[in-house]
Structure 1
Amino acid sequence: MGDKTPLSTLTNVTFVTSKAKFGSFISAYKEPETLGVDRWLAMVAGVHKYPDQNLLVIDAGSALTFDVVLADGKHQGGLIMPGLGVLRAGFDQFTTDSVELKAENLADNTKEAWSFGTSKMLTNTINGQINTYQSMYKNLVVILTGGDAKNIKPLIEGKTHVHQNLVLDGLIVYSGII
C-alpha cells in the first residue's frame, strides 16, 4: 500500500507486505495483501508475545481497529472504526486537539460535552467489543496498542495488556532479530 517510487533508489530496503501466513499466524483475508500492514504486524507481534493464546488486538490510533487471532494463530477477521482524533474532528466548531479521555457523564458547556461524548463513544465501543469477543472466545488476552493506548487504558474494563509499539515489535519479529 502506498507509493514506494520515491524510495526505490534506496538500497537494503525491505518493504513489508501482509502475507497469508507468517510463522504460526494465518490471515483470514482472502486477499491477504489487502490487510493493512500495520494491523498485520501488530497481530504477528501479538502471536509472538502471547503464543498459543486467543488474542484480541486493539489498535487505538488514527483508526480504531479490532482483530481476533485464535490460539492456533488463525486470524478470525477484524473491524475498523474512526479513532479518537477522527471522531473529535467531525465537527469543526467543537474540535479539540486534546487526546485526553474523561469518564465524566455530563458537561455544562458544548466543548466539554463534545469531549466527554467522544470519550464515552470510544470507550463504550471498546468495552462493548471486548465483552462481545470475550463471550465468543475463551481466555481471550486483550492487547491494546497505538497512540491513544495509554490514555484509553484507565477507562477499559478488565485486564488489558498495553504494548504501545506493537507494530514496531512486529517489524522486529518480521526481521528475524528475535
Structure 2
Amino acid sequence: MKRTPAAWVVMGVSGCGKSSVGARLAALLGARFIEGDAFHPPQNLAKMAAGVPLGDADRQGWLLALRAELVRTLAAGECVVLSCSALKRAYRALLRGGDEYPVCFVHLHGPRALIAQRMAARRGHFMPSSLLDSQLRDLEPLAPDECGITLDLRQPLPQLVEQAAAAWPR
C-alpha cells in the first residue's frame, strides 16, 4: 500500500536531540532524513560559531531552502523527516507552506539544565552553549491549532522515536 507523502519536522532548541530522533525516526518509517543544519549558509554558521544569535532575516533564506527541499522530496512521492529548530510559529508556517502535503512537528522539550549539559558535551558543533538562552527566548511552543506533538526529551531515545512514529500522519 502506497503512503501519502508526509513530513515530520523534529524541532526544538539546539542540543535537544533533533538530529538523533530525526534520523532514527526516518529509518523506522522508511522516510528520507534531512539534516536541517546542513542547509545553513556559511555566514549563518560563522555568526553562530562567533556566539551571535541569528535573527529572522538570517533564518529566512535557510527556511526557504528547507521548504524547497521538503517540497522536492514530497513531490517525488517520498516521506521525509527534517531536523530544524523551527523555533517560531512563523517559521513553522513557512515550512508547512500550503496544504498540498501534510507537514507536522515533533517538539522535543525539556529542562534548560539538561539541554545545556548536552550542548557542553558536544565536540565540534558550530553552536556554542552561550546561544541556548537566546534560542529559549525565541521558542514559541506548538499551539493547539498546529499539527504536531510535544515530547519530553528526558525520555530514552527509543521511546521518543516510538512516540513520534505512533503519531505519524496517515
Shorter-chain TM-score bucket reads 0.3 to 0.5
Q: TM-score, normalised by structure 1?
A: 0.37
By relative contact order (CA 8 Å, sep 6+), the higher-ranking structure is 2
Q: TM-score, normalised by structure 2?
A: 0.39
User: Which is higher, the Rg of structure 1 or of structure 2?
Assistant: 1
